[in-house]
């Protein structure tokens, strides 16, 4: 274990340089820029050291085009004898920069032990840590058993269909035994899974008429107002009262939640170059997008039935009320068992590197584990990686160098545990 830890410490400068190189490739999603560049960069590095690399384009997936192709990289190293396959999966895409930065978002400046940049924490720091962990492990145990895979995948930030979902559909996880996703959950936390998601669009329908004679029409916005009032009166209190046994962080997400992601009704907003007044009409359509996050203890059919029942209560009180409910997206909750091999091994490694017990958490939102679970049919999967989750998608996002070093040691120890016969 000391030799392995030393091998990571010896690579500290390499870890910094690798993280900086990755941040400096602005893999913005949407629309999906520089995916090939980052995959080719990683391919060059990994194949120099004898890893077999596959560049895979997720042709035909949402967003894929010749201008913005969805490229993924899978690097593989087989050991000296049979054994388990350990797969590290990181997404290589980053979200938009946004406002409020005091550093260059793609400059990867190193200041006081922190590397700044979009994607530093979510999750190029985790990707770099897993690569350094694997390289240090291979140098220390060149005759290891089994195999190691490192994937850098597209589009996690937009659902993962051009990334992990595509790979899973094409059998990439069929031979894999353990998956670690180095998302920024913090170096002493093991993330077991995530809550469920249901997105839906609710449209209330009325009849257009002149705004000066609204009694001749039927206002869809007023119908929506009644829907929202009913949500305030009955749905949000009901959801707040539902609590899960899942160790979700932050604490507020231990209840069921529902967000209104958008509302649109009546005349469309005009372009900035239109300087005239709007026309007076009674709105005949109003739409909201609801974002319902649900718990292990809840059933998706019941979650949907709560909303349908609410709409029917409104309908009973408003004779002309009509609505449509459209499903947009759904993912059931996923939680790996605490006794799963990858969980136990990672918990032991955290104890050995950091000197205290691992914390077990569940993510309020989903990430690529959903595809590994549902499409890849592999339950033995966790998220574990350096970084502070709250910094993800924020201005002045950063990753701590020491956190990356520590979590690389944990990952390397996991490999040692799973792929060598010690003693």
Count the neighbouring beta carbons within 10 Å of the beta carbon of residue 131: 29
Q: Looking at beta carbons, which residue is closest to Zn ion?
A: 122
Site for Zn ion in 386-415 (CB under 5 A): none
38 phi, psi to nearest 5 deg: -70, -35
135 is a site residue for Zn ion (CB under 5 A): no
Nearest to Zn ion of 123, 249 (CB atom)? 123
> What tokens does 222 get?
């007023």
- C-beta separation of 359 from 189 below 8 A: yes
Residue span 304-343 as binding mask against Zn ion, x where in contact by CB under 5 A, dash where not: ----------------------------------------
> What tokens does 239 get?
């959801």
Nearest to Zn ion of 64, 122 (CB atom)? 122
Nearest distance from C-beta of residue 183 to Zn ion, angstroms: 5
> What tokens does 49 get?
């050291």
Nearest to Zn ion of 123, 258 (CB atom)? 123
Beta-bridge partners for 72: 56
Nearest distance from C-beta of residue 159 to Zn ion, angstroms: 12
Q: How far apart are CA 258 and CA 15, in angstroms?
A: 40
Q: Which of 84, 93, 397, 406 is catalytic?
A: 93
Half-sphere exposure in the Cβ direction for 282 (13 Å, CA): 19
Residue span 114-133 as binding mask against Zn ion, x where in contact by CB under 5 A, dash where not: --------xx----------
Nearest to Zn ion of 8, 123 (CB atom)? 123
Which 3 state secondary structure label does DSSP give 149?
A: strand
Nearest to Zn ion of 123, 412 (CB atom)? 123
Which 3 state secondary structure label does DSSP give 355?
A: coil
Quick check: is 299 catalytic? no
β strands within 79-188, DSSP E: 81-91, 110-111, 114-116, 145-153, 178-181
User: Do the bridges between strand 334-335 and strand 257-265 make them parallel or antiparallel, or are there none, so unpaired?
Assistant: unpaired
Nearest to Zn ion of 156, 416 (CB atom)? 156
Which 3 state secondary structure label does DSSP give 201?
A: strand
Nearest distance from C-beta of residue 181 to Zn ion, angstroms: 9
Residue span 139-178 as binding mask against Zn ion, x where in contact by CB under 5 A, dash where not: ----------------------------------------
* First-last CA distance in the chain: 11
> What tokens does 361 get?
């958490």
Nearest distance from C-beta of residue 249 to Zn ion, angstroms: 15
Q: How far apart are CA 160 and CA 96, in angstroms?
A: 16
Nearest to Zn ion of 78, 391 (CB atom)? 391
Site for Zn ion in 178-207 (CB under 5 A): 183
Residue 9 contacts by C-beta under 8 Å, 6 or more apart in sequence? 405
Nearest distance from C-beta of residue 404 to Zn ion, angstroms: 15
Residues in contact with Zn ion, total (CB under 5 A)?
Answer: 3
Nearest distance from C-beta of residue 122 to Zn ion, angstroms: 4
Q: How far apart are CA 200 and CA 323, in angstroms?
A: 13
- C-beta separation of 136 from 7 below 8 A: yes
Quick check: is 93 catalytic? yes
Q: How far apart are CA 419 and CA 4, in angstroms?
A: 13
Nearest distance from C-beta of residue 91 to Zn ion, angstroms: 6
Q: Which of 64, 84, 155, 156 is catalytic?
A: 156
Active site residues: 93, 156
Q: Which residues bind Zn ion (CB under 5 A)?
A: 122-123, 183
């Amino acid at each position: 274990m000391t030799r392995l830890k030393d091998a990571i410490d010896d690579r500290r400068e390499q870890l910094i340089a690798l993280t900086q190189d990755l941040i400096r490739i602005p893999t913005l999603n949407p629309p999906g820029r520089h995916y090939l560049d980052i995959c080719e960069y990683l391919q060059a590095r990994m194949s120099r050291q004898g890893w077999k690399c596959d560049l895979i384009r997720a042709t035909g997936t949402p967003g894929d085009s010749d201008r913005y192709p969805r490229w993924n990289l899978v690097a593989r190293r087989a050991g000296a004898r049979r054994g388990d396959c350990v797969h590290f999966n990181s997404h290589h895409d980053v979200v938009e920069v946004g406002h409020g930065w005091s550093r260059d978002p793609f400059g990867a400046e190193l200041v006081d032990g922190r590397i700044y940049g979009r994607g530093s924490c979510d999750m190029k720091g985790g990707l770099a840590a897993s690569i350094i962990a694997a390289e240090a492990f291979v140098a220390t145990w060149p005759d290891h058993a089994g195999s190691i895979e490192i994937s850098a995948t597209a589009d996690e930030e937009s659902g993962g269909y051009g990334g992990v979902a595509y790979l899973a559909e094409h059998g990439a996880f069929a031979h894999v035994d353990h998956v670690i996703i180095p998302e920024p959950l913090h170096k002493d936390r093991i993330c077991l899974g995530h809550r469920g998601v249901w997105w839906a669009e609710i449209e209330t329908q009325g009849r257009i008429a002149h705004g000066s004679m609204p009694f001749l029409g039927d206002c869809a916005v007023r119908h929506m107002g009644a829907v929202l009032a009913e949500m305030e009166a009955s749905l949000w209190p009901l959801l707040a009262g539902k609590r899960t046994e899942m160790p979700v962080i932050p604490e507020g997400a231990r209840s069921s939640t529902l967000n209104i992601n958008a509302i649109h009704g009546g005349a469309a907003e005009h372009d900035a170059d239109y300087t005239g007044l709007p026309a007076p009409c009674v709105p005949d359509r109003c739409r909201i997008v609801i974002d319902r996050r649900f718990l292990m203890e809840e059933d998706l059919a019941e979650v949907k039935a709560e909303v349908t029942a609410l709409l029917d209560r409104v309908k009973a009180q408003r004779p002309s009320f009509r609505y449509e409910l459209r499903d947009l997206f759904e993912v059931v909750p996923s939680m790996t068992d605490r006794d799963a091999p990858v969980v136990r091994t990672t918990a032991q490694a955290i104890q050995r590197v950091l000197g205290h017990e691992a914390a077990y958490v569940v993510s309020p939102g989903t990430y690529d584990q959903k595809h590994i679970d549902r499409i890849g049919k592999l339950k033995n999967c966790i998220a574990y990686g350096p970084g502070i989750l709250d910094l993800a998608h924020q201005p002045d996002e950063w990753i701590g160098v020491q956190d990356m070093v520590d979590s690389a040691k944990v990952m390397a120890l996991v490999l040692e545990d799973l792929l060598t016969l010690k003693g």
